[in-house]
């Protein structure tokens, strides 16, 4: 049986170089970075070297990079701290954000006097910038939290435009950039976000590690209390091997960005062309059939299959060795429909199965051909 992994938006396979770097650190650098002896100092040097390297990829200072366990913790750190410590009273977001944002905001609203406004979006998941401007003119201390690249339909936010609007209106701006860091160049001197979240396993790094960009003099306070690690903003002994793995993965992602982007773009376009010719009744959700308006790493496909048969689709694909997703991996096993697709699809299309196929440099056209043939046979 063939084996095809088309679920890279959920997690990516690690690069061989990352595995080698992690293994070496685990063998030789086991000291606690907070210890004052030579073992600890050697580990501290490694952590700070990685922090500097990651900071340089985003054109920021090393002190603005805070290591976390991943994107979810990074989002929680920012949202909970700005409400509690910066006295944010109004958060502007969208209804198609990751649940790390939406569920955190719901919990914060239950415990605080917090207004949450949802900016209008169109049928492709693009925000209404005029509506955002209107919301920014309301009273109160405002935070805008909008993701750079949507994890289900791939719609790309004009993050520069939003950052400029926020600056003009004296609002803070946080962006969940989990699906874009490592896939797009992001210059945080040019793009004036105040906070940004990233996760290593989305760009061929290890799971269990990510970072928050927190612009200096933000006033944020820690979410996790204990020691004074991470500039006092995130207590807990640093996971040195994972931090090094993330450093290597991000550096390689940006060193090879143009070549790998070109390859994955061509693979996505090949997938789209083959779907259109083989299953002409299929629809692409959002603007995911575009390599410009949607990320080049994924497509979200609505298939012409009746509901009863649709219930078996993912199971049948898995039996054929094909890994893909009906939405966010964080909702896997849930019987609920995708909250993202519920916002942009009509009732008829919501009853049909929608599948997210996401690609990486490790995929091939032969794998696309195999997936298309299995889909055609099933339909």
Q: Are 174 and 88 in contact (CB under 8 A)?
A: no
- DSSP letter at 227 equals S
**Alpha helix (H) residue ranges in 210-295:** 240-255, 257-278
Q: How far apart, in whole angstroms, are the C-alpha atoms of residue 299 and residue 366?
A: 17
- Count of H helices and E strands in the chain? 13, 12
Strands, E assignment, the chain: 4-5, 65-68, 90-93, 115-118, 142-145, 172-176, 195-199, 210-214, 283-284, 298-302, 322-323, 354-358
322: β partners: 4
Q: Please name the residues in contact with 45: beta carbons below 8 A apart, sequence gap of 6 or more.
A: none
Q: Please name the residues in contact with 162: beta carbons below 8 A apart, sequence gap of 6 or more.
A: 127, 129, 132, 144, 146, 173, 175
Which one is catalytic: 166, 287, 324, 330? 330
Half-sphere exposure of 258 (CA within 13 A, CB side): 0
Specify whether the backbone of 333 is left (phi greater than 0), alpha (psi in -120 to 50) or beta.
left
302 is catalytic: no
| Residues marked as catalytic | 330
């Amino acid at each position: 049986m063939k084996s095809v992994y088309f679920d890279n938006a959920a997690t990516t396979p690690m690069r061989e170089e990352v595995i080698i770097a992690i293994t070496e650190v685990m063998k030789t650098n086991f000291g606690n970075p907070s210890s004052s002896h030579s073992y600890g100092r050697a580990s501290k040097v490694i952590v700070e070297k990685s922090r500097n390297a990651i900071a340089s990829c985003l054109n920021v200072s090393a002190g603005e990079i805070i290591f976390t366990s991943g994107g979810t913790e990074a989002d929680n750190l920012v949202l909970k701290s700005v409400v509690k410590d910066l006295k944010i009273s109004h958060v502007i977001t969208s209804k198609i954000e990751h649940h790390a944002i939406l569920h955190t905001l719901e919990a914060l609203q239950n415990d605080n006097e917090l207004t949450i406004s949802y900016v209008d979006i169109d049928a492709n998941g693009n925000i209404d910038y005029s509506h955002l401007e209107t919301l920014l003119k309301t009273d109160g201390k405002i935070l805008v939290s909008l993701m750079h690249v949507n994890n289900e339909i791939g719609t790309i936010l004009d993050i520069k435009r939003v950052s400029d609007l926020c600056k003009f209106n004296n609002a803070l701006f946080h962006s969940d950039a989990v699906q874009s860091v490592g896939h797009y160049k992001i210059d945080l001197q040019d793009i004036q976000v105040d906070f940004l979240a990233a996760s290593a396993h989305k760009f061929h790094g290890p799971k269990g590690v990510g970072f928050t960009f927190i612009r200096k003099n933000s006033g944020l306070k820690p979410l996790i209390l204990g020691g004074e690690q991470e500039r006092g903003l995130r207590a807990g002994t640093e996971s040195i091997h994972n931090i090094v793995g993330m450093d290597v993965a991000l550096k390689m992602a940006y060193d090879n960005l143009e070549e790998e982007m070109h390859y994955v773009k061509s693979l996505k376009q090949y997938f789209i062309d083959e779907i259109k010719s083989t299953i002409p009744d299929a629809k692409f959700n959002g603007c995911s059939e575009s390599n410009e308006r949607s990320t080049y790493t994924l497509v979200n496909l609505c298939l012409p299959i009746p509901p009863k048969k649709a219930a078996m689709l993912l199971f049948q694909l898995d039996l054929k060795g094909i890994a893909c997703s009906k939405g966010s991996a964080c909702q896997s096993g849930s019987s609920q429909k995708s909250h993202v697709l519920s916002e942009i699809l009509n009732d008829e299309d919501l009853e049909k199965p929608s599948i997210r196929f996401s690609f990486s440099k490790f995929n091939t056209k032969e794998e696309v051909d195999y997936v298309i043939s299995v889909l055609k046979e099933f339909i």
